[in-house]
Amino acid sequence: MKFHELAEYFDKLEATSSRNELVRILSELYTKVSASEIGPVTYLIQGRLTPFFEPTEIGMGEKYVIQAVANAYKTGKDEVAKMYSKLGDLGLVAEKLAGRTKSEPLSIEKVYARLLEIAETSGAGSVEKKLGALAALLDELDSVSAKHLVRIPVGKMRLGIGDPTVLDALSFAKKGDKSLRPVLEGAYNKTSDLGLIAGTFWGKGETGVEKLKVTVGKPIRPQLTERLPNPEAVVQKLGTVLVEPKYDGFRVQIHKDGDEVSIYSRNLESMSLMFPELIRATKALSVKDVILDGEAIAYNVETDQYLPFQETTKRRRKHGIEELAETLPLRAFVFDVLYKDGKDLTGLTYEERLEILKPIIKGSETLLPTKVTKTDSAEVLAKQLQENISNGLEGVVVKRPDSIYQAGARNFNWVKLKRHTSGELNDTVDLVLLGYYFGKGKRTAFGAGGLLAGVYDSEKDEFVTVTKIGTGLSDDEWREIRKRGDALQVENKPARVNSILVPSVWIRPEIVVEVMADEITKSPTHTAGKDGGETGYALRFPRIVSFRDKDKKAEDATTVKEIVSMYKQQYQHKESG
């Protein structure tokens, strides 16, 4: 397939506001590509050249892409910048400036290979080489192709396609329905690589996908926790449980393959360069290859003090890493082992995995074992919860001793209990910002006076509204949210957003915030849990606690299912009270 044909499909995807239509268009595209093209196409749809966990970036910021556009179309850099300021999209600038190409249309594989070459260019003079290569490539493309190509290095593809949409489209392309979604999703949970799954599916069929295995160097999608309101509910539902502290840090998945160590975040991004002390500690382990699951948190060993998330998050940076590691050292509290010396351990029970884990990290001063208590007593569980909160932690996580590790799953094998508040809602929720409203009065100076926020509907792969937020931010934070929102601004409602309310400005669903609220109520104006009914669910008196998009993707936000469950728990609490 030629790249301009792919660009035409990108135009169709960008223009639709229907998730079902996204699946239809994408599945049609997939029926027309070859086995060798489908992997690159899948990455390009995500605005990537490789899976998210591989740090392969084109490495050109906006100012360099502006220069490349100027060079490609023999236009002054200032003129390009002026057009960008007016249009708000470098892709549209390139589309307007691009003339009719005189070159033979380039194939998808040729364009993809040249983008990879740009990304892999390094060393002395690499910036100039990248500029020249991108400008030359743009000069060979038609206007629509140039529009979409330019959006890749600046990270603004505007297609609104989530992972479940890709998996559904792959199934539709082969079967005409979603029947193969579970098989494809199972492989994705093990490998976190949509391009690999698509290529395997096209080349080796369903059987080939089923044979994909857990591999060191490819992060496993993490198992997640469910919620219950109190210790009594936990013991009643789960019986005997293993109780662990809930740390307020970074979820880390640590991979060791000989002398190579990789660290991945909860949202599957590589963090290997950011945490040198964890790298050194992992290299010192006696095992040949291993995958560990844990939580990294800034921790003062001398005072036995855990530092808040706001301190820990300072470690996510690209410069001054070693210096900060000295002043703000991390410890990884390891609570699971998923793979060891060539064997996938995810099918073993949690108690069995803990026994395997103990000798692996024994003696390490940086990779520390999580404290585990086994109990079937609500009183003991309540005591553990209060002790952890008094130590500055979020609460506890309880796990079924006989549960296997279910990658990507959120179920009652793992349950979290957190600190209570004076309000009816006893836990924070993670929301995705969907748009903002222009400020009134004092807030006119900030540009944003209210935020439209939502949760994730994992069944439909869409974001639904649950509240409007007007408190919890300082004056500077309001200005910052306007600045960040403008960088994600889109003209129309994003394709995967389901909303009755219309904010002053729509933004792409990427910013995740932790929110506290007094209670969950029924609402006719919000779409969370509405499903054709008259009312959905809404948060009452929400206020922002912190920003969490440095460690969570939009799809990692609180789900509709969780909101419904929390509403029922809250109602039962009121009834019993």
| CATH number for the domain harbouring residue 278 | 3.30.470.30
Residues 228 and 237 sit within 8 Å (Cβ to Cβ)? yes
Spatial neighbors of 226 by CB under 8 A, at least 6 apart, are 410, 411, 412, 414, 415, 416, 562, 565
Class of residue 244 by CB neighbours under 10 A (exposed 0-12, middle 13-18, buried 19+)? buried
In a domain, 64, yes or no: no
Class of residue 363 by CB neighbours under 10 A (exposed 0-12, middle 13-18, buried 19+)? exposed
Tens-digit pLDDT profile for residues 548-567:
877 788 898 999 988 988 88
Domain boundary among 392, 418, 444: 418
Number of domain units in the chain: 2
The residues that are catalytic are 246
Residue 485: the pLDDT is 82
In a domain, 83, yes or no: no
What CATH number did the domain enclosing 560 receive? 2.40.50.140
Residue 490: the pLDDT is 85
Class of residue 258 by CB neighbours under 10 A (exposed 0-12, middle 13-18, buried 19+)? exposed
Same domain flag for 412 and 479: no
In a domain, 156, yes or no: no
In a domain, 282, yes or no: yes
Spatial neighbors of 142 by CB under 8 A, at least 6 apart, are 4, 7, 98, 100, 101, 105
CA separation for the pair 471, 478 (Å, rounded): 10
Same domain flag for 276 and 353: yes
Spatial neighbors of 445 by CB under 8 A, at least 6 apart, are 439
Closest CA to 201 of 171, 177, 176, 179: 171
Same domain flag for 369 and 348: yes
Same domain flag for 312 and 359: yes
Residues 478 and 522 sit within 8 Å (Cβ to Cβ)? no
Residue 422: the pLDDT is 34
Residue 316: the pLDDT is 73
pTM, rounded to two decimals: 0.80
In a domain, 504, yes or no: yes
In a domain, 128, yes or no: no
Same domain flag for 509 and 548: yes
Helix (H, G, I), strand (E, B) or coil at 202: helix
Domain boundary among 365, 395, 418: 418
Helices (H) and strands (E) in the chain, counts: 20, 22
Counting as low any pLDDT under 50, the low residues of the chain are 421-424, 441-445, 577
Same domain flag for 375 and 440: no
Q: Which two tokens stand for residue 534?
A: 């008259």
Domain boundary among 379, 398, 418: 418
Compute the chain's Rg from CA coordinates: 24
DSSP secondary structure letters along 154-197: TT-------HHHHHHHHHHHHHSSSTTHHHHHHHHHHH--HHHH
- The domain containing residue 434 runs over which residues? 429-576
Residue 248: the pLDDT is 83
Q: Which two tokens stand for residue 219?
A: 């992060």
Tens-digit pLDDT profile for residues 408-453:
888 899 999 886 533 345 678 999 999 988 765 444 445 566 899 9
CA separation for the pair 334, 302 (Å, rounded): 20
Tens-digit pLDDT profile for residues 520-556:
888 888 999 887 677 889 998 888 888 887 778 889 8
